[in-house]
């Protein structure tokens, strides 16, 4: 079935969303097709990755498909809802029973606004397609990853951004993706820090916050489309945070203090990861030290990462 290899590794960049508009209704009526549900907004990929390794185990004794799923070394199986959904989705393409182990390992914290679920979803479907020779097109793989996030309420537009690469605008919701890359000046650094998790599902299920996000995201996108630059992206992202009142609603006092400090420090800008108890700052190389110094005043509660914007898209690292 697999000819030359029994395992595969796929690396997919983490991603930070600066702002977004939830699009799950048309004229007040809920959209039923998960392909059409999604978000508009903007964000960027990072040079930190979610690595998905899939191993095709010996399955001579089993008469049914089996899949074990691990995240950062801990076994989740069907509780890894997005990955498990993809496995169940592709079962219809599998002719003979298979036994799989899927291992997700993430460079950045899960649930903290770094697009781990989208990274894992893309890594899973790309890896399964190659390993099991499913012959899915790139468009098919993106669609399956997108709907797996939408149905499990772990994301709305992250997959499209990760497929685009760099700093990009999500111009229309749903799938297929309609994106536009923003040209960046050279020598930018991304310093980010995380205080902990926010469950995306809890935000998407909150009608009050969801409505605020829709309006604020729509306004932020208009500003960025009028001036497609890293500077307008950062300002629009911070305006989104203020307009949603998310810092007060979720009582994120330390994040508010850190953002105020960073945005007074003469860097390109800082804002909050959407969605996570995390802050990202974009600065020039000459400002790295002072930016990190500001983050470090919040130790030991914060984990700090020194990164850059990743232009590349998901890659198949190796077949074994």
Distance between CA atoms of 147 and 38, rounded to whole angstroms?
Answer: 9
Give yes or no for a contact between 38 and 174, defined as CB atoms under 8 angstroms apart: yes
**pLDDT for the residue 198:** 83
Distance between CA atoms of 312 and 163, rounded to whole angstroms?
Answer: 9
Give yes or no for a contact between 149 and 115, defined as CB atoms under 8 angstroms apart: no
Residue with structure tokens 């799923």? 69
**pLDDT for the residue 1:** 42
Distance between CA atoms of 83 and 79, rounded to whole angstroms?
Answer: 9
Domains of the chain: 7-180 (3.30.230.10), 183-307 (3.30.70.890)
303-307 sheet: strands from edge to edge = 269-272, 277-284, 188-196, 303-307
Residue with structure tokens 């960049």? 13
Distance between CA atoms of 188 and 185, rounded to whole angstroms?
Answer: 7
Sign of the Cα torsion 44, 48, 50, 54 reads positive
Give yes or no for a contact between 206 and 292, defined as CB atoms under 8 angstroms apart: no
Give pTM, 2 decimals.
Answer: 0.93
Going from the C-alpha of 134 to that of each of 63, 90, 126, 229, the distances in angstroms are: 20, 8, 10, 40
Give yes or no for a contact between 167 and 280, defined as CB atoms under 8 angstroms apart: no
What secondary structure letter does DSSP report for 27?
T
pLDDT in tens, the chain (320 residues): 445 579 999 999 999 999 999 999 998 899 999 999 999 999 999 999 999 999 998 777 778 899 999 999 999 999 999 999 999 999 999 988 999 999 999 999 999 999 999 999 999 999 999 999 999 999 999 999 999 999 999 999 999 999 999 999 999 999 999 999 999 999 999 999 999 888 777 777 778 888 899 999 999 999 999 999 999 999 999 999 999 999 998 999 999 999 999 999 999 999 999 999 999 999 999 999 999 999 999 987 889 999 999 988 787 766 65
Give yes or no for a contact between 221 and 41, defined as CB atoms under 8 angstroms apart: yes
Give yes or no for a contact between 283 and 267, defined as CB atoms under 8 angstroms apart: yes
**pLDDT for the residue 108:** 97
**pLDDT for the residue 317:** 67
Burial group, residue 277, by CB count within 10 angstroms (0-12, 13-18, 19+): buried
């Amino acid at each position: 079935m697999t000819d030359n290899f029994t395992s595969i590794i796929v690396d997919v960049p983490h991603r930070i969303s600066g702002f977004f508009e939830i699009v799950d209704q048309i004229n007040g009526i809920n959209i039923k097709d998960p392909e059409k549900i999604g978000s508009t907004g903007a964000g960027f990929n990072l040079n930190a990755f979610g690595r998905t390794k899939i191993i095709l185990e010996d399955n001579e004794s089993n008469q049914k498909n089996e899949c074990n799923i691990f995240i950062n070394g801990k076994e989740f199986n069907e509780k890894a809802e997005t990955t498990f959904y993809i496995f169940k989705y592709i079962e219809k393409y599998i002719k003979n029973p298979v036994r799989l182990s899927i291992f997700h390992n993430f460079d950045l914290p899960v649930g903290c606004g770094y697009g781990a679920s989208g990274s894992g979803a893309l890594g899973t479907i790309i890896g399964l397609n190659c390993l099991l020779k499913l012959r899915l097109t790139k468009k098919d793989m993106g669609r399956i990853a997108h709907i797996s996030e939408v149905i499990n309420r772990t994301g709305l537009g992250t997959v499209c951004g990760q497929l685009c690469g760099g700093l990009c605008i999500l111009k229309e919701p749903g799938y297929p993706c309609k994106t536009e890359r923003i040209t960046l000046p050279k020598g930018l650094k991304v310093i980010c820090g995380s205080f902990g998790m926010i469950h995306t599902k809890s935000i998407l299920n909150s009608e009050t916050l969801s409505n605020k996000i829709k309006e604020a995201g729509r306004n932020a996108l208009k500003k960025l489309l009028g001036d497609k630059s890293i500077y307008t992206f950062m300002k629009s992202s911070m305006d989104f945070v203020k307009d949603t009142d998310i810092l007060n609603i979720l009582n994120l006092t330390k994040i508010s203090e850190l953002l105020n400090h960073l945005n007074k420090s003469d860097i390109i800008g800082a804002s909050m990861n959407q969605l996570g108890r995390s802050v990202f700052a974009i600065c020039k190389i000459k400002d790295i030290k002072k930016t990190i110094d500001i983050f470090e005043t919040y130790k030991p509660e914060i984990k700090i990462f020194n990164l850059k914007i990743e232009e590349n898209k998901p890659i198949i690292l190796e077949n074994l």
